[in-house]
Amino acid sequence: MDTQETISALAALAQGTRLDVFRLLVQHEPEGLPAGEIARQTAVPHNTMSTHLGILTRAGLIRPERRSRLIIYRADLDKLRNVLAFLLKDCCGGHAEICAPLIADISACCPAESTEKVPA
């Protein structure tokens, strides 16, 4: 991840509708949503939504996947991870305790699946 890629991603998210779309797609991972459903849920006209989806796709934040006649859009969580890592790299001048609450907040939303077997 470099500075220009990060600026592109942040610029794409620096608009209300696109931020709403990205957050909606994050909520619907890993299934994704078709463009029409995204437009319906955000109450944005289809032609306007197409423009927003194009901007998010060019920024690498979402990926279109063709499924039969539909194009399903999914959030690219790897790209999001890379943006966050770029922003937090060298965080707090080596004082991990300062960044710990921030990292904990991010981690708490998506806990890793436990590999421990639970007795039946």
| pLDDT digit string, tens, across residues 66-99 | 999 999 999 999 999 999 889 888 777 777 788 8
Instruction: Name the band, by pLDDT with cuts 50, 70 and 90, for residue 104.
Output: confident
Which pTM value belongs to this model? 0.83
Give per-residue pLDDT as tens, 25-48: 999 999 999 999 999 999 999 999
In sequence order, which residues have a C-beta less than 8 Å from that of residue 1 and are 6 or more positions away?
82, 83, 85, 86
Backbone angles phi and psi of 75, in degrees to 5: -70, 140
Cα torsion through 14, 15, 16, 19, rounded to 10: -60
Instruction: Name the band, by pLDDT with cuts 50, 70 and 90, for residue 107.
Output: confident
In sequence order, which residues have a C-beta less than 8 Å from that of residue 32 and are 6 or more positions away?
25, 65, 72, 73, 74, 75
* Exposed/middle/buried for residue 2 (C-beta within 10 Å: 0-12, 13-18, 19+): exposed
Mean pLDDT for the chain overall: 89
Residue 21: the pLDDT is 98
Residue 68: the pLDDT is 92
